[in-house]
Each structure stands twice: as structure tokens, then as C-alpha cells.
Amino acid sequence: AVIRGSTPHFDYVSAETTKGIANVSLNHNIPVSFGVLTTDTIEQAIERAGSKAGNKGFEAMTTVIEMLNLSKEL
């Protein structure tokens, strides 16, 4: 998770992470899912990593597996 602090570092890290993940997919023609949590608090990160809001990392991984299986069928 990237958790917002009191400096603009959160914005830089979040933006570059997003660009990097997109570039992997575009440059290597492989399915990629964005599973990085960007939150304002540690509590939000915990909620999204397997608590009240589900497990966003697991959901991202499941999506990629489904995309890989579909691409094999094409």
C-alpha cells in the first residue's frame, strides 16, 4: 500500500507506480492488473487488504489469472 502522508511524495509514488504497471502491460503485451492500494490511512489499507472491503490484492491476482486464461483461448 502507498499511504498518504503530509508531503507530496504520495502523489509521486502513486503516479509513477501507475505508469510503470501500465508500461509493463503495453511493452510486453501481457495482462497486468493494478493491485496497489493507495489510501489515506493505515486503517483503509488494512480494510482493503483482507478486512471489511475485501482483499483487493487477491482480486487483482484473480483478474490476471482470468485474463491469462482468456488470452490462451484467443
Which residues have a catalytic role annotated?
Answer: 9
φ and ψ at 50, to 5 degrees?
A: 135, 15
> What whole-number distance in Å separates Cα of residue 50 and Cα of residue 72?
30
